[in-house]
Structure 1
Amino acid sequence: MSDWKKICALGDVPVLGARVVDSASHGRIAVFRSAADEVFAVLDKCPHKAGPLSQGIVHGDTVTCPLHSWKIQLRDGQVVPPDVGCVKHFATRVDNGEVFLAL
């Protein structure tokens, strides 16, 4: 069973942007918010060259790494073809305007 941790208010994550959360067990986690107010979380490290995904461009449910433009699907952490790879994904939920992360 996941341990849900309240990390911030939904308004603290910019629309089409990210906020970084430090986790003792996982390191830096990037929390993203889509234009539709969906919230996603992945490790803040591109699987290609460890670029900071939190500084990437969010479009829909995908983020483009700022270093080499790899696209990462935020729903599952999979890299968009033709590139290959994945990044650890974390479950999120929003309750009463508060964002929770499963660790």
Structure 2
Amino acid sequence: MHSDTLNQTRMHSDTLNALSRTQIYTEMHSDTLSHTKMHSDTLSHTEIHSDALSRTHMHSDALSHTQPHSDALSHTHPHSDALNALNHTQMHSDALSHTHIH
């Protein structure tokens, strides 16, 4: 009878040890899952930054494309001033011609 009780006690002890090991493994897996979730959140955050950088890059490309147009306008502006001066001179020339006729 005592022998049976000892055997049952040993079985209970083995079961408790197995349960204890299972709990430790479960906790380890839980920690791993939490750690994985952190990486997942970090990746999501990184993706947001990546999208923002892509948008910034597009703006940068647009500005690079606009710069030559700006340079061309700066180059055209003196020509515009020269044309205005020519028109002004033409008016004086016309006035002189008109005066000369009189």
Q: Fold match, TM over 0.5?
A: no
Structure whose alpha-carbon radius of gyration is higher: 2
- TM-score tier by shorter-chain length is under 0.3
TM-score normalised by the chain length of structure 2:
0.12
Higher helix share: 2
Higher strand share: 1
RCO higher in structure (CA 8 A, sep ≥6): 1
TM-score normalised by the chain length of structure 1:
0.12
